Structure 1
Amino acid sequence: MSVTKRVLPSGNVTWRAKVFFERRVIAQRSFARRVDAKRWEADQLAKLDTGSWIDPTRGRITFAALAEEWQGSRGHLAVRSQETTRFLLDKYVIGEIGAFPIAAISAADVERAMSAMTARGLATATRRRALSMIRLVLDYAIRDRRLSVNVARMVSLPRGGTKREPHWLRPEQLGRLVMAVPPLCQPVVLFLGLTGCRFSEMAALRVDDVVQTPHGLGVRVHRAATQSKRTSGAVFGPTKTHQTRTVPVPAALDAYVRTRVAGTAPGGYLFPSPTGGVWTNTNFRARSRWMEATRRAGVEGTTIHDLRHTAASLLIAAGADVKAVQVILGHSTATMTMDLYGHLFSEATWQAMERLPAIPLMEAPLAIEAPNSPPSSASVQ
């Protein structure tokens, strides 16, 4: 029997209910009344049948311990991604709710953790990423049948701050920027500004990745060299989308690429640093004197990633369709390309504005005055 009667030394009677699964006890509980024990047993068996049963003992693990397990399950991801989640958890999350048993965490606890981040002056984007990490950790617990509900999903993502609109350079601005950086950095800037490759993808390119296609010279983009947040060194791994693509070599760099291939031993970098090694974002900014170069080129405030947007705008202006831009830039889907650059593919918004009917105005120009300004002399009777 799964419900048994027990007589305690005090003489009181309790009823012990046990739930069996694959010939082992997975849960048990004592009740003062037999009917309550039977009702609890039936409820547990029903949850087993529907696949919604949760082991209450496994919900006692702390959030910090669960986060460590979850982090260990992400070994297949890029090192940079793992470092980012580790940093967010350790610096902003574990200190707030790390000691709580996951089954005891409430939506209010998560909201208090988010309020603490706000009080620390963290940017909206950082707080959004931190909440996303909490959600992912608790999602992991649900998949492992430790929780039945993710309370962090009841908490809204923080709002505030607007996402920076993609910024790109005009052809003449890109040309000035190329000439403003030292000669060794010029091919890098030109390549990023014309192909839209990510900086980490460019850094990982080797002469072996150059291929001759029926349409011309191309480079096979299949790895990335991201900069470690922990060591600041380059860490090699797959591309951001874990996909391989062949990017045409721009005509402006055809001679450079052919010269590198002809004069470099196999395995050498296509765009080497001054020491012949791999570029990182940090050493490139230093060697190119990026801040000074953008100022001298008249494009102050331009980031290295803006060169990727520049390539997209130039491709679209040259008549490239959505699929071509997606493939060259390495977006996971054409939808993502349209979300970022859709307004550049169509002139409909501008044409719609130009087609608005003319509004008849008075012969004299409209007098627009600032609020609370004194009336003009012409309006005084």
Structure 2
Amino acid sequence: MAKSIRGRNEGSISKRPNGKWRAQLSLNGKRISFGSTSKEECQVWLRKMLNNLDRGMDYEGGKTNLKDYLALWLESNQTTLRPKTAYQYAQIIRLHIIPYLGEIILKDLRQSRVEQFYGELLKAGVGTRTIRLTHSVLHRALEKALGYGLILSNPAHGAALPRRNQTEMSVLDESQVSLFLVAAHSSQHEALYHLAVITGMRQAELLGLKWSDLQWISGTLHVRRQVQHVPGQGWSFIEPKTRAGRRAVELGEGSLQALRLHLERQELQKMIMGQRWKENNLIFPSSVGTPLNPSNLRMDFNRVLDHAGIPRVRFHDLRHTAASLMLNHGIPVIVVSKILGHSKPSVTLDIYGHLYHEMQTEAAQIMDRLVTPIEVDLLETASNPIHNIH
């Protein structure tokens, strides 16, 4: 095993038998390690950690407040997080955690204060989903502090969270879906809306689709990437977060026809734009071929909703609508789960289980028919010799 040994308090970088690299650093008798497929990433991590020590991080939690620790934690994890994730973490820390907990000394933070913090966010009008994301970031950061030996336990572990508010999910009914798709005839994004309602694909997945992902003969559409925009860094294409996110979705003839018409319009748009067209082979690009700006899509989406006379919902609610339609028309949960790209059916049930109430009346009627006894005259049956033959 190849190994690079450094001096005391300088750490080390070694190559493991599986080909991956590992950086290690000893702090207060406790060894901290970082793994990567790249030696360069290990070197960057080690330099950052050593720099943190030079800046006075005592790694005992006695003097370090949460604000300073989170800044160092986020910096140390830059190489392990996706750019958009790192940006979101920084926003959550800046907007939600630091204003309430930033000045608290790390070792003095208690679970009761964390729970009080979540209640304060709720009173301030922060949504339950955002609070849960905030909890996830805080828990992850404190778990690392626990590994560093800065704290004896993670005060965010087991902290009570506000219940999910199902009203945050809006679902269009079948008549509204019909009105929406009719109104979408006037939009250049008609095929995108059609696909969103039919497949429940996420907006980032739809905007990342390329024509090479579509197999016209079999009618199969492969979800292989998402388009991602990070403020200050621009656009990029990333793989789905989970293995289940990489999936093949079967399309019906109606969806394929909508895509054929969309392709014809796109070819015409290319001719109009000429050299100004930036070829990315995207199915749903901007008017010049670059990734479509979600803000522009949102404006058109709201216009279509207004034209259809439907109350405004989020684009993501089309995903919820697709799930609702599939589940309430008897499509098995395991199939819906695969179409939506969930890691397992239990995730689908956890999110959409409450939508099953629409099926309960039909289920009750079916069960009622199954168990309703057939009225017979038992005395007449007993006196009839035909029925007594064995």
Please classify the TM superposition score into its range, dividing by the shorter chain length: 0.5 to 0.7
* Aligned match for 2:224, one of 216, 222, 225: 222
Correspondent of 2:312 among 301, 314, 333: 301
Question: What amino acid sits opposite 1:203 in the alignment?
Answer: L
Alignment-derived partner of residue 269 in structure 1: 282
1:273 corresponds to which letter in structure 2?
S
Assess if the C-alpha contact under 8 Å between 1:194 and 1:311 holds in 2: yes
* More contact order relative to length (CA 8 Å, sep ≥ 6): 1
Q: 1:195 to 1:100 in 2, by over 3 A?
A: same
Q: How does 1:335-354 map to 2 (within 5 A)?
A: 335-342=346-353, 343-344=355-356, 347-348=359-360, 350-352=362-364
Matched residue, 2:196:
192
Give the C-alpha shift of residue 203 in structure 1. 0.1
SS in 2 for 1:219: strand
In 2, Cα distance between the equivalents of 1:292 and 1:266? 28
Counterpart residue number, 2:339: 328
Q: Which has the higher helix share?
A: 2
Code of the aligned partner of 2:219: L
1:204–1:236 CA contact under 8 A, matched in 2: yes
Size of the aligned set, in residue pairs, is: 302
Q: Partner of 2:146 in structure 1?
A: 142
Q: How large is the RMSD of aligned CA atoms in angstroms?
A: 3.7
Note the alpha carbon deviations across 1:111-169, whole angstroms, 9 max, x for none.
Answer: 56446545644344434433333222111111233322112336422458554345133
- Is contact 2:170–2:313 with CA below 8 Å preserved after alignment? no
Q: Is 1:237 aligned to residue 238 of structure 2?
A: yes
Distance 1:245 1:26, change over 3 A: closer
- The unaligned stretches of length 5 or more in structure 1 are 1-23, 28-55, 357-381
In structure 2, relative to structure 1, the CA distance for the partners of 1:232 and 1:57 (3 Å cut) is closer
Distance 1:180 1:245, change over 3 A: same
Letter matched to residue 168 of structure 1: L
C-alpha distance 322-123 of structure 1, shift in aligned 2 (>3 A) = closer
Cα separation, partners in 2 of 1:279 and 1:331, compared to 1, 3 Å: same
Q: Which amino acid aligns with 1:246?
A: A
Q: Distance in 2 between matches of 1:326 and 1:104?
A: 43
TM-score by structure 2 length? 0.65
Shift in CA distance, 77/211, structure 1 to aligned 2, threshold 3 Å: farther
Residue 180 of structure 2 corresponds to residue 177 of structure 1: yes
Instruction: In structure 2, give the amino acid aligned to 1:176.
Output: L
Residue 244 of structure 1: how far off its partner (Å): 1.0
Q: Matched residues in 1 for 2:349 and 2:359: separation?
A: 14
1:268 Cα shift?
1.1
Taking every aligned residue pair, what percent have the same amino acid on both sides? 23
> What secondary structure does 2:157 align onto?
helix
Report deviation, 1:179. Answer: 3.0
Which of 159, 165, 172 matches 1:168?
172
Mean alpha-carbon deviation: is it higher for 57-66 or for 254-263?
Answer: 254-263
User: For residues 185-237 of structure 1, what are the alpha-carbon distances to aligned partners after superposition, in whole Å with 9 as ceiling and x for unaligned?
Assistant: 11110010111110110000111212357xx1212111111343x35954432
Mark the CA change 1:149 to 1:302 in structure 2 (over 3 Å): closer, same or farther: same
Q: Write the letter of the residue equivalent to 2:172.
A: W
- Looking at structure 2, the residues matched to 313 and 116 of structure 1 have their Cα atoms a distance apart, in angstroms, of 33
Partner Cα separation in structure 1 for residue 28 and residue 332 of structure 2:
62
**Structure 2: distance between partners of 1:328 and 1:63:** 41
Residue ranges of structure 2 left out of the alignment (5+ in a row): 1-26, 31-57, 271-277, 370-390
What SS does the corresponding residue of 2:228 show, helix, strand or coil? strand
Match of 2:68 in 1: 65
Aligned twin of 1:201: 205
TM-score, structure 1 normalization: 0.66
Is the 1:142–1:150 contact (alpha carbons within 8 Å) kept by the matching residues of 2? yes
Question: Quick one: structure 1 residues 173 and 113, their matched pair in 2 at CA, closer, same or farther if it must change by over 3 Å?
Answer: closer
Which structure would you say has the larger Rg? 1
Q: Secondary structure at the match of 2:281?
A: coil
Instruction: Indicate the SS of the match to 2:189.
Output: helix
Q: Kindly state the Cα deviation for residue 270 of structure 1 after the two structures are TM-superposed.
A: 0.9
